[in-house]
Amino acid sequence: MTKSLDGRELAGFIKERQAHQISSLTTKPHLLIIRDSDNPVITKYVNLKIQYGEDIGAIVEDYLAKSTDDIARKIHSANSDPSIHGIILQLPILDTSKTQELTSLIAPAKDVDGLSGHGDYDSATATAILWLLSGYSIDLTHHKIAIVGRGKLVGAPLFQIFTQSGYDVELFHRGDDLTKLKNFDIIISATGAPGLISDSMIKPGAILIDAGTASENGVLKGDISPEIRLRSDLAAITPVVGGVGPLTIACLFDHLLRATYFAVGG
């Protein structure tokens, strides 16, 4: 029987702890989310963060920028604003060629999503995947691990973390020969290409983490094709909704709490 790696229960415990921590603070954590798109997928995830912040007592500000120049101006302004403790540039932005340039503008102490590459925090999504694996007692030491997707949000930072930890890991681009995934025990995919990972690519007993998200006709879809989810011979798989996502948000607010403590001298 395939186990469901549901992150919602794990996130619930973290959320309860965060609410308790914030209730004892005199300064409420303040998160600024900057975006330049009202794409349904982006709006969905921004709203989830806003709701999460309200639930635990944090302040979450959603800023819709008019241009890349406006994004840069807002980041610079927030960097120097002591009342803002964390800054997120919600990806993807409309001009993806500007992503690295803009994320690098975020002050290291306020880069709570861990996207700049020089901030004080690891990638929230990559960390969430580690939390999910740890929460379900999945030992990475003796497994062959494949990461599909080289993006700065998940694939690249996760590969770096696994490599530094000495795990047996290989990084794939979405255009690589993915039939080779048949040789791996754990597959973590984060490309945003719906159905990229097909049934024939996965061996029995594999563990699948789907961190890819895209919208097709208003429906959220992951990298893992639907037929894989019908199998009962896998060790474990994340659900369509509620796998990595809830823990990513929980991790993000953990980083925000830490940034707030540092900012106010706690």
Q: Is 197 a domain residue?
A: yes
Q: Where are the alpha helices (DSSP H) in 140-211?
A: 155-164
State the DSSP code for 120.
Answer: S
Strands 219-221 and 214-216: antiparallel
Q: What is the pLDDT of residues 121-149, one digit of tens each?
A: 989 999 999 999 999 999 999 899 999 99
Closest C-alpha among 140, 133, 139, 173 to residue 156: 173
Domain identity same for 218 and 142: yes
DSSP-based three-state secondary structure for 145: strand
In terms of domains, do 172 and 78 share one? no
Note whether 134 and 207 are same-domain residues.
yes
Tell me, yes or no, whether 129 and 235 share the same domain: yes
Alpha-carbon span 233 to 124, nearest angstrom: 30
pLDDT score recorded for residue 42: 86
CA 42 to the chain's CA centroid: 13
Q: Which residue has the tokens 């255009």?
A: 175
pLDDT in tens, 90-123: 988 999 899 999 999 999 999 999 988 788 898 9
pLDDT of res. 217: 66
Looking at the structure, do residues 102 and 173 belong to the same domain, yes or no?
A: no
Residue range 193-211: mean pLDDT, rounded: 94
266 lies in a domain? no
> What is the span of the domain harbouring residue 236?
124-243
The pLDDT tens digits of the residues spanning 5-31 come to: 999 999 999 999 999 999 999 999 999
Confidence of residue 222 (pLDDT cuts 50, 70, 90): confident
Whether residue 223 is contained in a domain is answered as yes
SS3 label, residue 88: strand
145-176 tens-digit pLDDT: 999 999 878 999 999 999 999 999 999 998 99
Residues 169 and 59 in one domain: no
Q: Which amino acid is at 92?
A: P
Nearest CA-CA partner of 11 in 257, 247, 210, 254: 247
Same domain, 203 and 137: yes
Q: What is the CATH number of the domain that holds 239?
A: 3.40.50.720
- pLDDT tier, 240 (very low <50, low <70, confident <90, very high otherwise): confident
Does the residue 250 lie in any domain?
no
Task: Say if 259 falls within a structural domain.
Answer: no
Asked if 92 and 69 sit in the same domain, the reply is: yes
DSSP helix/strand/coil, 140 = coil
- Report the sign of the C-alpha dihedral through residues 19, 65, 122, 265, in that order: negative
Task: Please check whether residues 140 and 103 belong to one and the same domain.
Answer: no
Domain count, the chain: 2
Please state, in angstroms and rounded to a whole number, the distance separating the CA atoms of residues 194 and 15: 30
Whether 219 is in a domain gets the answer: yes
